[in-house]
A = this chain, B = another copy of it.
Amino acid sequence: MTYKFSKHVPQSDVDAVGDILKVAGDPKVTSFAGGLPAPELFPVEEVKAAANRVLTGNGRAALQYGSSQGVPGLRQVILNRLEIEGIKTDSDHVMVATGSQQSIDLTGKIFIDEGTTVIVEDPTYLTAIDVFRSYGAHFVGVDMDEDGMKMDALEEALKNNPDTRLIYTVPTFQNPTGRTMTLERRKKLVELAGKYDVLVLEDNPYGAIRWSGNNLPSLKSLDKNNHVIYMGTLSKIFSPGLRLGWVVADPKLIKKYTMMKQSADLHTDSLAQYIAAEYFAENDIEDHVTAITALYHKREQIMVDAVDKYFPAGVTHSNPEGGMFLWVMVPGVADSQKLFDAALKRNVAIVPGDPFFGNESIPGTFRMNYSNTPEDKIEDGVKRLAEAIEEVMSK
């Protein structure tokens, strides 16, 4: 039969990033491509104990249909996490989502029509681009530097696109750059959101994993007029497999999110929510986050040291104070894909920069992940990657 697809569906069946991750999964390959947490730190025993307690004490509720807004116990855990991040609120402002990805998808569905302008950082989280595009978004990318999105460029974009409905930002340890927006720019961004009356979607998956510099207030905590929708997740500090994230917003908006979530998947897995709530009640998450941070810092140092030692002169990189990613810029290379191909020939995988841009990409860029590679494999992988870069630069 002939299939007639909606305009939401990409014309092409090519899943460039999926294909990259597939080759990166080859055991021969040292992969800096994915964005996975280190599984050796997953609190498997503690989760097992939590699952046991939940199924002993609350089994029927954990296996039954639940509320679209989320299990109250988990929403309380989320409120506690938000308080650490300077956001004092109540459970009417919180909805549990099936991972951050769902928070992004629902945001797209709620706010984006064909042609709606969405402002994004250049570069930004690639699956957010896919989602917003599927709802018809028109992207306006805003330049960044090591201090995050440039505020003069943002104001210019807002002036030139008065129909903008949404600014999507990952202000802390951004994906893919690892960069963090300064306090001054955070204040300015919230001010501009008010001045131009647009919403900000603040995505903060990595913020807790900081090894240097000071914690900075979230945009949400600086926002006095409900311009900021905040997203969090347990994927990076607990477990990505359980798919537990949240949206924090004005209760009026949470009502819309909850209605759309009901259409999307009725509710997030009850058992996973109960297990997470139980885990947080019985364990000290700060100890666990400290262990994650120490390991990722160690891996990042090994990677940055090797990059500085082996990469050709002229190649620059970001300097993350936390999170999972390093962003590399290679001068004089027009096609980032060539960097990927040359690296893969040497059994190293990276993600070339292109899919992280809503429109035109910055050539010669790529993302490296350090959280998921054992320490003893990083230097050697970087060395081979350096050879690949040299080869591409010399052509």
- By a CB distance below 8 angstroms, the chain B residues around A220 are none
Chain B: which residue is nearest A98 at the CB level? B265
- By a CB distance below 8 angstroms, the chain B residues around A295 are none
Which of chain A's residues 1-54 have a Cβ closer than 8 Å to chain B?
A: 1-10, 13, 15, 18, 36-37, 39-40, 42, 44-45, 47-48, 51-52
Return the contact of A266 from the options B66, B99, B253 (Cβ within 8 A). Answer: B99
Interface size class of A (residues with CB under 8 A): 35 or more
Inter-chain contact A36/B7, CB cutoff 8 Å: no
Interface centre among A13, A63, A102 (most CB of B within 10 A): A63
Return the contact of A8 from the options B10, B51, B59, B110 (Cβ within 8 A). Answer: B110
Q: Is A394 an interface residue (CB 8 A)?
A: no
Which stretch from A204-212, A268-276, A284-292 is at the chain B interface? A268-276
A201, chain B: closest CB distance, angstroms? 13
- By a CB distance below 8 angstroms, the chain B residues around A39 are 60-61, 63-64
Inter-chain contact A242/B270, CB cutoff 8 Å: yes
Q: Is A256 an interface residue (CB 8 A)?
A: yes
Inter-chain contact A113/B66, CB cutoff 8 Å: no
Inter-chain contact A42/B15, CB cutoff 8 Å: no
Chain B: which residue is nearest A257 at the CB level? B9
Q: How many copies of the polypeptide does the oligomer hold? A: 2
Assembly CA distance A310 to B256 (angstroms) = 41
Q: Is A75 an interface residue (CB 8 A)?
A: no
Q: Is A227 an interface residue (CB 8 A)?
A: yes
A68, chain B: closest CB distance, angstroms? 8
Assembly CA distance A86 to B102 (angstroms) = 34
- By a CB distance below 8 angstroms, the chain B residues around A116 are 6
Q: Is A101 an interface residue (CB 8 A)?
A: yes
Inter-chain contact B47/A55, CB cutoff 8 Å: yes
Inter-chain contact A5/B110, CB cutoff 8 Å: yes
A392, chain B: closest CB distance, angstroms? 29
Q: Is A95 an interface residue (CB 8 A)?
A: no
Q: Is A239 an interface residue (CB 8 A)?
A: yes
Assembly CA distance A36 to B110 (angstroms) = 28
Q: Is A157 an interface residue (CB 8 A)?
A: no
Chain A positions 73 through 113: 1 when the CB is less than 8 Å from some CB of chain B, otherwise 0 = 00000000000000000000000001101100100011111
Can you list 20 A-B pairs with a CB-CB distance of less than 8 A?
A1-B194, A3-B252, A4-B111, A6-B110, A9-B256, A36-B64, A42-B59, A48-B59, A51-B55, A63-B240, A63-B241, A63-B242, A101-B263, A101-B264, A127-B262, A134-B260, A241-B269, A269-B272, A271-B271, A271-B272
